[in-house]
Amino acid sequence: MEDTDPARRFSAQAVRKFDNGADGGSSQPTQLNKIAQQVAAQYRRDTMSPVMVSGVMRLIEFVLFSLSGLTLLAVLVGFGPHLFWQYTLAIAGTSLLTVLLYELGDLYQVPALLKPLSNSARLLFLWAGAFALLAVAGFFLKISSDFSRLMFGTWFSLGFVLVFTLRLVTAQLIRRWARNGAMERRAVIVGGGQAAETLIRALEQQPYNDIRICGIFDDRDDRRSPPIVAGYPKLGNISELIEFARIARIDMLIVSLPVSAEKRVLSLLKKLWVLPVDIRLSAHSTQLQFRPRSYSYIGSVPMLDIFDRPINDWDSVAKRAFDIVFSLIGIIVFSPIMLATAIAIKLDSKGPVLFKQKRHGFNNEVIEVYKFRSMYADQSDPTAKKTVTKNDPRVTRVGRFIRKTSIDELPQFFNSLLGNLSLVGPRPHAIAAQSHNMLYNEVVDGYFARHRVKPGVTGWAQINGWRGEMDTDEKIRKRTEYDLDYIENWSLWFDLRILFLTPIRLLNTENAY
């Protein structure tokens, strides 16, 4: 039978590739070799996070319990004025309490969701526990005799049948998603040799394992790091790993080096931290012992958490909802200004109203950003190789005003609504933006770490005065510093604060021209 794992499937080809003299140990960034490109292409599609699946399951079960209770209330008791709110509160409270008890009983973890039969007794026991607490509350409040025993007895039976049936269906869906790669955590092993093989074997022995190993990357040559480890190919060096992770939707990098190899570990982390992924250091074979809370686990395999992907799982859902709501509000509120600006641009100079520019987005991907055109059409600079300066002759009369007031940025509300940008985040720079004939990433070490989150229409750097022309290396460093501070300290309240401070700070137009 053909192996469905893309990384394993290309193993034989990888052996031939590396045997033919490919150098996996070069420290210079190079284009991915053919095998790595093929493997990366297999993982371009996003996957469902197990955390998200568990979270959605909690919500569905709460709704299922509540709706079944309310339906029985309507059928067996009726929606009359007598005790209506008391019944509703009892149903909602019991449903919520059951979900909390299931959470405490680890019944929303994926291994538990995969085994509804094995966990049926716990499901029933905790559902009964919620009813017992409801009965105790009714007894002490002296209102239990006012409620329908038939209704609650029927709800107890029906609720369990419904939740158990739901879990049977969910288990089949999770297995299907796991088979077709729709729900998995994709990992790359950093570092080869015996340590990597020991780690891979340990991961493969876990009874439930949602980790898909996509390949191995190592700077060492084939004499010290074999091209095939435990059936997985070495796809390149660390510089190539960064390119690979930007093509493939990788969730995790697992560094299989001993903690004692401090210099080498730090050297690797300095290169890898710019990627929007979780970075874990394998503690499987280390002799050093840390406090239990220092570890996270894949099954029973211990890991040390080095970096977590910022704004992930439910945080990303909350941020996306924030963007949609406030983008719609912005479009509605500023639509008269946008219409007036479009008319003024048309009357002032020939050419299109909107200007499109390619910029670096999330994970260093190229996105297209909309702005109102502020330059003469035949002198526009889509690549931004030449920074706009004070009294720049390329800028139109209307353009000077809309750049000063940042009205030229208003069409980016549509970018945010479509999902290319976030409302708040590091401002995206043009792909060829330069300072003194040097690209920004050549000026600032770790510059691309700004792209671990989606770029924004406004940002923490702009609020602190770092907007406008980036004509010195110091300005680029400061902007990057504030962007990284935003990423490390993100919260919805932080976004809200930046959003509401933006109009106030835009009154300072000293650096905008």
Label residue 14 by pLDDT band (50, 70, 90): very low
Residue 14 and residue 24: Cα distance in Å, rounded? 11
Q: What is the pLDDT of residue 414?
A: 94
pLDDT at 141 over 80: no
| CA 127 – CA 299 distance, rounded (Å) | 28
Q: What is the pLDDT of residue 10?
A: 42
> How many helices and strands in the chain, by DSSP H and E?
18, 14
- Position with higher pLDDT, 390 vs 198: 198
Residue 367 has pLDDT above 50, yes or no: yes
| Percent over 90 (pLDDT), the chain | 27
Query: Is 196 a residue whose pLDDT tops 80?
Result: yes
What tens digit of pLDDT does each residue of 445-485 get?
A: 677 788 889 999 998 988 888 776 666 777 788 888 888 89
- Residue 286's identity, in one-letter code, is T
Tokens at 80, concatenated = 């009359």
Report how far residue 259's alpha carbon sits from residue 266's, in angstroms, rounded to the nearest whole number.
10
HSE-CB for 284 with a 13 A CA cutoff = 21
| Closest CA relative to residue 439, chosen from 476, 481, 388, 482 | 476
Q: How far is CA 439 from the centre of its chain?
A: 27
Half-sphere exposure of 338 (CA within 13 A, CB side): 16
Helix (H, G, I), strand (E, B) or coil at 90: helix
What's the whole-number mean pLDDT along residues 240-261?
84
Mean pLDDT on 51-63: 92
C-alpha distances (whole Å) from 229 to each of 49, 210, 301 are 27, 20, 18
- Band of pLDDT at residue 30, cut at 50, 70 and 90: low
Distance CA 369, CA 356 (A): 6
β-pairing verdict for 211-217 and 232-236: parallel
CA 145, 151, 157: angle at the middle one, nearest 5?
Answer: 125
Residue 475 has a pLDDT of 77
CA 93 from centroid of its chain's CA atoms: 32
Q: How far apart are CA 334 and CA 53, in angstroms?
A: 38
Residue 74 DSSP label? I
The SS3 assignment for 306 reads strand
Gap between the Cα atoms of 467 and 457, Å rounded: 12
What confidence score (pLDDT) does residue 108 get?
93
From the number of C-beta atoms within 10 Å of its C-beta (0-12, 13-18, 19+), residue 201 rates as exposed
Q: pLDDT confidence of 304, banded at 50, 70, 90?
A: confident
Percent of the chain with pLDDT over 70: 84
pLDDT of residue 512: 54
- Residue 342 has φ and ψ, to the nearest 5°, of -60, -40
Q: Give me the pLDDT at residue 22, please.
A: 38
- Grade residue 334 by pLDDT with cuts at 50, 70 and 90: very high
CA 512 to CA 506: how far, in whole Å?
Answer: 9
Q: Tell me: pLDDT of 374 over 50.
A: yes
Weakest-pLDDT range from 69-73, 93-97, 425-429: 425-429
Q: State the average pLDDT over residues 171-191.
A: 87
pLDDT tens readout for residues 163-176: 999 999 999 999 88
Lookup result for tokens 């604060």: 497
Task: Provide the mean pLDDT of the chain.
Answer: 82
**Model pTM?**
0.76
454 is written with which tokens? 């989606």
- Stronger pLDDT, 180 or 512, i.e. the higher one: 180
Q: What is the pLDDT of residue 510?
A: 58
Q: What is the pLDDT of residue 16?
A: 39
Q: Each residue of 206-234: pLDDT tens digit?
A: 777 788 888 899 888 777 778 888 888 88
Domains of the chain: 6-46+184-307 (3.40.50.720), 50-180 (no CATH), 314-505 (no CATH)
Q: Which residues contact 280 (CB under 8 A, 6 or more apart)?
A: 252, 253, 254, 255, 296, 303, 304, 305, 306
Residue 464: DSSP 8-state: T
> Does residue 307 surpass a pLDDT of 50?
yes
Model pLDDT, residue 178: 81
Mean pLDDT, residues 326-352 taken together: 92
pLDDT at 19 (0 to 100): 40
Provide the β-strand partners of residue 228.
233
Q: What is the pLDDT of residue 436?
A: 47
pLDDT tens digits, residue range 378-427?
A: 777 666 666 666 777 888 888 888 888 888 889 999 999 998 899 999 98
